[in-house]
Structure 1
Amino acid sequence: MGVTVPENLDLNLLRVFDALMDAGSVTAAAEQLHLSPPATSRALTRLRRAMNDPILVRAGRGLVPTPFALRSAPRVRALLEGAAELVTDATGSEPRTWRRSFAVRINDGLAPVLVPRLIGRITAEAPGVSLRLVAQNTKDPDALRDGSVDLDIAVADPPAPDVYTQTLFADHFVAVVSAQSTLGRARRLTVAQLCRYPHISVSRKGRARGPLDDTLETLGRTRRVVAVVPTYAAASLLALEDDVIVLIPRVMARHLVDRGVPVRWHEVPLDLPRVTVDQRWHRRLDSDRPSQWLRGQVVAALEHLVGDDARMPPARRPPGSSGA
């Protein structure tokens, strides 16, 4: 028995629905779709009739999705990706022929470093492929399961049984200061200076304490955290102020200096734990040719970025998984 699809609900309308869910406004969705706002508004009216739901409702000065729209968004995204895969299969295996959009969830400390290089590689080899970056507000694997995220690039955690991972590189945190400050002119950073000067801490959960505090505590020392910000990007801008210390990943600190940002970074004169960065994907995408290609592009983009101590072993399967 065939599947009955409403005659007034086509793939183009689903693309509008997906853009509205992603952008949260008619105007922003119109820009994303390269349509006029009136045309997008008319499409929303058609969607409301076809789905028998308001889809977006007014809340203050903005619009918010209905519960039905929130439930439907992952399924619509999966349908659109399935359609894109059909086009890919029909046009062959050459990246230049693909028309595909990938949702990549990535830590904001790595995004400014990796994404420009990744975009350069993608544009050269597969101009029809685009990236949609998703803020890493959570590491919940459900986003990989329901298709709202295709690839997750984050500090390593134990993977879920149905999620595959590949280690990209290991890194450590360094102290970033203004190049024109007293600390910026110092030859090296001492423990005394680390404790004397104010710190800007980075935590999306608002936590002021971290591994540095634990290490200092074993020495009977403390530091002074004067502010907590949610992103490394914000912290890096605050590091431009005189005699403020910000701890960020070394790969980002090197990127800032290479791009001419007037900061300097010091090695922290303490033994702090290193962090490992993984890329993760759901097992349903493990054999998908474009997804495999994208993961390879991530590895290649990082090859000359992370230093001589980077280690990038083959992808590892989750414990107990057959890979089927």
Structure 2
Amino acid sequence: MDLRRIDLNLLVAFDTLMTERSVTRAAERLSIGQSAMSSTLARLRKALNDPVMVRDGRGLVPTPFAEVLAPRVRDILVEINDVLSLRETFNPGTAKRTFTIMADDYITVTFLRPLVSRLAHEAPGVRLLLRPTSDDPADQLRRENVDLLLIPREVLQHQSRDFLTQVLFKDRLVLAVDRDHPDVADSITREQFSALPYLATSSANARSLAESQLDFLGIPHNVTITAGSLLAPFLLKGTRLVTLVVDSLGRQVAEPAGIRLLEPPPPQMQPITQIMAWTKRTEQDSGHRWLRQCLLDLAPETSS
């Protein structure tokens, strides 16, 4: 194949199609019309001598050849991006950039708040878009709808191998109860815990790691209400409810929420490891490297 006769922008279109698995979404991503995207797909088919995407029911699925080609094309595009970025330098004082971070609300409050203050002084032209965790955060990162994902490593699990990751800090789970709880003194037994009404927490319609650990450890819990992790501590006052919260959040809201923090019932629960994850596309970008270093600099300040 003579590369001089090939429009290398087709590689960008191919990568977008393979990510979105939809002509309509790929067109939106590339800011072109759907008819133009369909024409681009036709050109790809001719250049590669392969259908690339075929209809399956109401959607499109890639051909086996396209599946094999996809990671190699992605690596090529990353290399091209790295080459073009070699001469770029990032000056936070003068840069005008936008970074999109996905994180749970409680991480935004307990961990990212100092970053907002730092940017105001060091990088006034840098804009942050903070998005709450979605039903499939890994997919949002894979599709490059977000630049950086802050998430417990235990949630990302085997999908972490698809991305580059860095541990930020570990946080432990603690028991939270109303400051004047009538049945809980300075400690709680497993039997007491299981008998009291339990406030479960969720994020993006998914069960929290706290409940997953309780199930794994075989500790019964009497769920009577479910709420978001940031809201949960503020629902305890004046009730017999108990819940599990991460220590960093519990310590910040204990006074205004009117709650006490205790050790959870035995056996000991495992800490939660918060990580940041990103794609190869942003690995060498000087601005993204600066942002990740900012988060690493802040991590010890909020680590439990």
**Normalised TM-score (structure 2):** 0.66
Structure 2 runs not aligned, ≥5 long: 8-21, 32-83
User: Displacement, 1:291?
Assistant: 0.6
Q: Is the 8 A contact 2:137 2:149 kept in 1?
A: no
Match of 2:248 in 1: 251
For 2:281, the aligned partner's letter is R
1:32-181 equivalences in 2 (<5 Å)? 70-76=25-31, 92-156=89-153, 157-181=157-181
Q: Percent identity?
A: 23
- Using the alignment, how far apart are the partners of 1:238 and 1:145 within structure 2? 36
- Is the alpha carbon distance of 1:183 and 1:288 closer, same or farther for their aligned partners in structure 2, counting shifts above 3 Å? farther
- Is the alpha carbon distance of 1:251 and 1:73 closer, same or farther for their aligned partners in structure 2, counting shifts above 3 Å? farther
Match of 1:188 in 2: 187
Q: Is the 8 A contact 1:121 1:301 kept in 2?
A: no
Q: Is the 8 A contact 2:135 2:206 kept in 1?
A: no
- Using the alignment, how far apart are the partners of 1:137 and 1:183 within structure 2? 37
SS at match of 1:95: coil
SS at match of 1:182: coil
Match of 1:211 in 2: 213
- Is the alpha carbon distance of 1:69 and 1:97 closer, same or farther for their aligned partners in structure 2, counting shifts above 3 Å? farther
Match of 1:283 in 2: 280
Q: Is the 8 A contact 1:103 1:151 kept in 2?
A: yes
User: Displacement, 1:273?
Assistant: 2.4
User: Displacement, 1:134?
Assistant: 1.5
Q: Is the 8 A contact 1:159 1:165 kept in 2?
A: no
- Is the alpha carbon distance of 1:181 and 1:95 closer, same or farther for their aligned partners in structure 2, counting shifts above 3 Å? same
Residues 158-193 of structure 1: CA deviation (Å, up to 9, x unaligned): 345441000112222111112232357x22222232
Q: Is the 8 A contact 1:173 1:247 kept in 2?
A: yes
Q: Is the 8 A contact 1:174 1:250 kept in 2?
A: yes
- Is the alpha carbon distance of 1:74 and 1:148 closer, same or farther for their aligned partners in structure 2, counting shifts above 3 Å? farther
Match of 1:322 in 2: none
For 1:199, the aligned partner's letter is Y
Structure 1 runs not aligned, ≥5 long: 4-66, 77-85, 308-324
Q: CA RMSD in A?
A: 3.2
Residues 37-65 of structure 1: CA deviation (Å, up to 9, x unaligned): xxxxxxxxxxxxxxxxxxxxxxxxxxxxx
SS at match of 1:141: helix
- Is the alpha carbon distance of 1:68 and 1:178 closer, same or farther for their aligned partners in structure 2, counting shifts above 3 Å? farther
Q: Is the 8 A contact 2:234 2:257 kept in 1?
A: no
Residues 279-300 of structure 1: CA deviation (Å, up to 9, x unaligned): 0000111111111111111122
**Normalised TM-score (structure 1):** 0.62
Relative to its length, the structure with more helix (as a share) is 2
User: Displacement, 1:236?
Assistant: 2.1
Aligned pairs, how many? 230
Residues 255-286 of structure 1: CA deviation (Å, up to 9, x unaligned): 213x6432211110322222211100001111
User: Displacement, 1:206?
Assistant: 5.9
Q: 1:264 aligns with which of 260, 266, 270?
A: 260
- Is the alpha carbon distance of 1:289 and 1:266 closer, same or farther for their aligned partners in structure 2, counting shifts above 3 Å? same
- Is the alpha carbon distance of 1:141 and 1:265 closer, same or farther for their aligned partners in structure 2, counting shifts above 3 Å? same
Q: Is the 8 A contact 1:109 1:248 kept in 2?
A: no
- Using the alignment, how far apart are the partners of 1:176 and 1:146 within structure 2? 37
Match of 1:298 in 2: 295
- Is the alpha carbon distance of 1:181 and 1:73 closer, same or farther for their aligned partners in structure 2, counting shifts above 3 Å? farther
- Using the alignment, how far apart are the partners of 2:30 and 2:140 within structure 1? 12
Match of 2:226 in 1: 228
Residues 203-237 of structure 1: CA deviation (Å, up to 9, x unaligned): 343659532134245xxxx32111223x2023222
